[in-house]
Structure 1
Amino acid sequence: MRIAFFSPPLQGHLGPAAGLAAALNDRGHQCFLVHHPLLDVDPVFKSLPLDPSQCEWTPASFTQRTRSSGLPFGVLSLVREMAEMTNSLCRQAPDLLRQHGIEAVVSDQLEPAGALVADHLGLPYASLAAAHPINREPLVPLPFLHWPYEDSPKAIERNRVGTWVADKLTARHDRTVARWSAAWSLQPRQKVVDCLSTRADISQLVPGLDFPRQQLPPSFHYVGPLRRAKHDWPVTENKDTRPTIFASLGTLQNHRLSMFRRIAKACRQLGVKLIVSHANGLSARQAATIDADVVLPWVNYQEVMSQADAVITHGGINTVLDALAAGLPILCMPLAFEQPGIGARLVHSGAGKVLSHRSESGRIAAALGDLLNRPDYKARAGLLQDEIRSSGGAPAAAQLLERALGRAISG
């Protein structure tokens, strides 16, 4: 199959998509990425570039919007950019897909253009939840909310009001979906969430990291982290007997120097070793002001986490999954997007704790001390590690898509 991917131009989404594409390539398929030409495309994809003169956005402008997405104006600005990205994809992608003989589509849950274009062209498509799934249920709070899971009428009403507010904030993107659906005479879709595939809806989560679900369709599949084949890193002798902490704020919030400094001060108070990765979010001069044992612009997560005892993170889904894949308890300090919801699900799972990102070093040290000294956190993280190991990952997702999309093409 010749499969076109649609994704937001963010590493947190493109990385899992590339992991899935690599597994599909291994099975003899060809994977393409529809993208802005200023985006650096992973070589696992063949390139389907848009005409930039017809795009009122760039990867850089989109990234900037995500870094300044505070309520309400930052969110509204980001939603406006997302709507324009969907517009440009819907305008240009049909011709691109026809020209390159595309037979199927994989569309990120947060980029509905893939689903709309696929339906317009009569192509089968799958959805990919690279971030937390947006699938809705009355008992499950939306992923950007920090609310805990509760099975009660009060919780249902609370979640309903939260969903109503969210829909108001994202109305511009939803109107874009409805407009293209009507223009192409498709089955009516009113919201982004209406564009999820009924053939295959793939999530990076495992059930143990989600709230209890009662209404997921048969097409939904938890497959765990979508990563390429891992290497076995050699075990190096560690003469430092202190517990090792790894801290990362991902690729969008990696510029928060004050937060890194407070984390480092907390680790000094506890007497533990700290490794920091700032993903090129800081200058060398700024990085030198962090009182950690090791501060690097980039690290190999698998290698570093194999040496760590706990992780401190903003709660980005990929960092959280990589930590749990290594069996590590997590201190989550959410900043934006689905991170508050990931934190709430970590607490529900028993594998981590949550603090405000404004917490001072004393509170960080106390929470981190709990994670290191109470064995139940490590035990719960170990259970999730086992679940991730048996979830199948990218190879399982590739098989699911091959069956679901290939059957549609041949049928």
Structure 2
Amino acid sequence: MSRFLFVVLPVASHLNAPLAIGQALRAAGHEVAWCGPRTDLRPLIGPDATLYPTGKRYFRLDGETGMASVRTLWEGHVLPVNRFIRDAVDRAVADHRPDVVVVDQYALVGALAAHRHGVPWATFCVGALELTPPDLPGFGDHVRAQLGRVWAMTDLPVDDAIDLRFSPYLVLGLTSTALTGATPLPARCVLTGPALGHHPDAPAFDWAAWDPSRRHVLVTVGTMAEHLARDFYRRMMAATAALADRVQVVVTASPDVLPEPPAHVLAAPRVPVLELMPRLDAVVSHGGLGTITEALAHGVPVVVAPIRHDHPTVARQVTDAGAGTEVAFASATPADLTAALTAVLDDPGYREGARRVGESFAAAGGAAAAARHLAALAARPIEHCPSGTAALA
């Protein structure tokens, strides 16, 4: 059996997939260790799992869109957190001596630490921003410049043959061609579909308030954009009020964002999403790939209100697949939102499109398939070259 070290970032949406893959690896008899923030990881991995803590650097909230949001992502989030965890990650790789390091796409110093210590690494992509890049002027040039700044955090010579976002050994894309279509993908990339597993920290839910006589809709903007959603939620409440006789809405929102939810709405800061999905009739989402793929894996059609980063790309992929429809996050009126939600609830074509995408995810294999690819990488003879090239026998 092989030894794996996961290097993760302190963002809830970035933890679900590696947790599921780690569970699949452990079920197959492999040893799994973790490197990341103790406060986020310990409730997920349990008291006995090996953990190399990095400490935690909180992200600044921002309201940018387009290329401005990409610049903020890299300069305000990715670079500072990599600088913050660099030494802890390097020590973890040196101490644990894994056969493979499994790295969040934005935990770039994990790739550098593996490279330094002559260990193959795999990248997992929880979003679509880098995997299927947007058509934004200057995107490629900006990202390349930021990657140069990450190399500069170490004493390693820059190797232009290595794109730190994509391992030269294995890249795990948590989607399928039913969404990506014919978009070119990185070398050595395999699409496994979403990695869905057990969430030990899933919150309780008020099932007594669940009305089985009505259809059910989940409305969520994820964990990083709630501060932008107050007006969007207000419009959604007005939109769903017109459907309250037949629809019950579950909203992930803190009380300060949605202080007085109407009677047809169940609001909570967190909900057990994977428990809800089989019971839902539609999802309204900002377009985070995790939420969207969780919904489509269960054949649930979606209304996508993209905000920034990869959200517009995901929205386009969803509409191209016939699995949902898109609305404008900032400007859709309650009437627009009612019409979009009614469409995905009542037009069977959207549910059929979601079902087709879900079948493609099931065929791709999910967490079990990702674990098999990682185990194969660990078992494969690899000649690691100091220049950064990787020859797989």
What TM-score, normalized to structure 2? 0.83
- Whether the 8 Å CA contact 1:225–1:394 is kept in 2: the answer is yes
Alpha-carbon distance, 1:322 to partner = 1.4
Counterpart amino acid of residue 345 in structure 1: Q
SS in 2 for 1:122: coil
Contact 1:273–1:292 under 8 Å retained in 2: yes
The answer on whether the counterparts of 2:323 and 2:351 sit within 8 Å (CA) in structure 1 is yes
| Corresponding residue for residue 331 of structure 1 | 303
Q: Which residue of 2 aligns with 1:210?
A: 180
1:9-408 map, 5 Å: 9-36=10-37, 39-41=40-42, 42-43=44-45, 45-50=49-54, 58-60=56-58, 62=59, 64-65=60-61, 67-70=62-65, 75-80=70-75, 81-132=77-128, 134-135=130-131, 142=133, 145=134, 159=135, 162=136, 164-170=137-143, 173-179=146-152, 183-185=155-157, 187-188=159-160, 193-214=163-184, 216-217=186-187, 219-228=188-197, 240-255=212-227, 256-271=229-244, 272-278=246-252, 281-283=253-255, 286-290=258-262, 292-358=264-330, 359-408=332-381
Deviations 1:248-273 (A, max 9, x none): 22222234232222112111213432
TM-score scaled to structure 1, two decimals? 0.80
Distance in 1 (alpha carbons) for counterparts of 2:34 and 2:26 = 13
For structure 2, the 5+ residue unaligned runs are 201-206, 384-392
Q: Could you say what the CA RMSD is over the residues aligned between the two structures, in angstroms?
A: 3.0
* Alpha-carbon distance in structure 1 between the residues aligned to 2:122 and 2:5: 10
Opposite residue 260 of structure 2, the aligned amino acid is A
In structure 2, the CA distance between the partners of 1:361 and 1:285, relative to structure 1 (3 Å rule), is closer
CA contact (8 A) 2:172 2:192 kept: yes
Measure, in 2, the Cα distance between the counterparts of 1:6 and 1:173: 20
Aligned-residue offset at 1:315? 1.1
Structure 1, unaligned stretches of length 5 or more?
A: 53-57, 137-141, 146-158
Q: CA deviation at 1:400?
A: 0.8
Deviation of residue 196 (structure 1)? 1.2
Are 1:225 and 1:318, in contact at CA under 8 Å, matched by a contact in 2?
yes
Cα deviation, residue 384, structure 1: 1.2
Q: Please give the alpha-carbon distance, in whole angstroms, between the structure 1 residues aligned to 2:64 and 2:35.
A: 25
User: 1:67-117, CA deviations, whole angstroms, 9 ceiling, x for partnerless residues?
Assistant: 444466665444224213223444443233222333320111222212111
CA distance in 2, matches of 1:302, 1:197: 29
- Matched letter for residue 192 of structure 2: V
**Per-residue deviation at 1:303?**
2.8
Q: Which moved more, 1:222-231 or 1:348-357?
A: 222-231
The residue identity in structure 1 corresponding to 2:323 is A
| Deviation of the 1:120 alpha carbon | 0.9
What amino acid is aligned across from residue 247 of structure 2 in structure 1?
K
User: Across the two proteins, how many residue pairs are aligned to each other?
Assistant: 370
Separation in 1, partners of 2:40, 2:276: 28
Aligned-partner SS, 1:334: coil
- Aligned-pair distance for 1:277? 3.1
Distance in 1 (alpha carbons) for counterparts of 2:268 and 2:40: 24
SS in 2 for 1:270: coil
Whether the aligned pair in 2 keeps the contact of 1:82 and 1:173 (CA below 8 Å) is no
**Partner letter of residue 31 of structure 2?**
Q
Amino acid at match of 1:99: D
Q: Which amino acid aligns with 2:7?
A: F
CA spacing shift, 1:128–1:263, aligned 2, 3 Å: same
